[in-house]
Structure 1
Amino acid sequence: MGKRILLFLLTNILVMTTIVIAWTLITTFTDINPSYLTGGSGLGIDYGTLMIFSILIGFAGAFISLAISRWMAKMMMKVKVIDPNNFKNAHEQFVYEKVERFSRTAGLMHTPQVGIYQSPEVNAFATGPTKKRSLVAVSSGLLQGMDDDAIEGVIAHEVAHVANGDMVTMTLLQGIVNTFVVFFSRIAAVIVSRFVRSEIQWIVQFAAIIVFQILFSILGSLVVSAYSRHREYHADRGGADLAGADKMAHALRSLKAYVDRAKVNDRTDDSAIQTMKISNGKGGLVSLFSSHPPLDDRIAKLEQR
């Protein structure tokens, strides 16, 4: 269920890169100069001004990413939104009615948009800029591969993410991460540009900013992923409150059984299975980028209740 974070991080990197390119073009071909650069060569740095600049750009990028998160998710995942007045099949009716019931139980004033996307992976996600403008989507593979109780547990978990406001808190954290990404990427770019001829310094600095910003954004995702793993336990507890602890635990065990079957089949080229392996939090450096804790840990914590 790492789609929510993966889509948000990818959107954030795309938005931040777009802002950088637009700002660089504006400052290059107009009389506007980036005020944090000082000195005759333009290669000195006013660190206080740069920090203010970084805060503005960093939080702007995070909130733009949040604002378009639902639209981006529907476009990238080809989510078909369910019309509650015209169900096409039993799956649509089942998923929508569960989201509606859990949303009401969770105290949400509005039912999120509900959708299904065609994919063999067993997955689901929730996203959106506000509780009112949220989206809960499940894969066709989840509907075909899990029983009703497990599906209920997964849906309850995603509704809990919406009720907990996890996307907004994630955005605030991403804004802080973006601030440091912008700050240090520009310092690094200025340092690199000092080693080339003056006539190509602006080109080198422009390219270096993009490269360093993407690199530092990837490193910054370690912080966002760590916070996401922490919030997953809360969503599990919320899902247990909405659907029942037995159904939530059953959903997690069903996910684990799917992962175990994937390992046996060793279909390493299947992106859906790779997603589930990451969600399972198996060791090494990969686990640091995982948006979800190991399923065994999640099951154990839920059973401790």
Structure 2
Amino acid sequence: MRAYERIVEVLGDEADAESREWVRRKYTIRVRVAGVAAFALFVMIMGMSGTPWFAISTFILLPLMIVAVFFGVFMRGSVNKGLTRLIDDDCDPLLCARRTLALLEKDKKNADPRSGLFSYAYALRWQGKWNEAAKLMRALEDDADPQGQFLYHNLLAYCAWDKRDLKGLTAEVKALKELPAEGLSKDAASHIAEHVALRDMLSKELNGKPSKAAAGYLQVADDPKALPAHRVLFSLKAAGCLADPAERHARLAYVAEHGGTTWCMAEARKRLEKESRKGLGAPAGTAS
């Protein structure tokens, strides 16, 4: 089943008009313009070559090849990178999910169903819709392709960490390590190592070593090279481990201001309101 069809069937989510228009402007129109340009360039080259029979024999195949390569690699790739930046740089998984869904609808014949499901589920994860993300990815749990199983366990590992589910995260790490390496993408090992590090930090947090967990979270949150979304997420995680009220408040205030449409923003605001009710808000002169 294609990714868009499964999303509609499992979650009932459908592309909205605004996102469809965005896909039309950013993808469809550019694809058509590039196709005309590629075809015109081919005709010009064949006309200059002085070999009409060669031109006729390849009149259909070569233009299609050029267009397919250009569209498949450059055009869709550039749109996908733009969607990824909506989460990484803009902290806006809600908009990312909407536009991803519209792109999957438009390009549903060519889009890889596994990657499409993961992309949409990943945006759901960042919105805090962990159950919906897991439900959507369940189709890949017993996938014959190891990469499909990797995407399933990779997504569930992120969700388990978000929810502070150490048992679940440990189980997902075990499942990831048991997958055959030869059937996985080149970056699979680095993702597994990331989950191991997250598990270790969560273990410290839940097993009486919050200061050590906070140190690990803050190392990521304060890294100048860290993506904005990661700074928000790890700042929230650190806030849950900090003993000093003022430092904790500052971290939560940062997440509440910069969290965008991520679940982190809503969670930070909820914690700030709770602390305010308890009289543990920011010290005088500190922005809230």
Q: TM-score normalised to the size of structure 1?
A: 0.33
Structure richer in strand, relative to its length: 1
* Greater RCO, 1 or 2 (C-alpha within 8 Å, sep 6+): 1
Report which of the two has the higher share of helix: 2
Task: Give TM-score scaled by structure 2 length.
Answer: 0.34
**Computing the radius of gyration over CA atoms, which structure comes out larger, 1 or 2?**
2
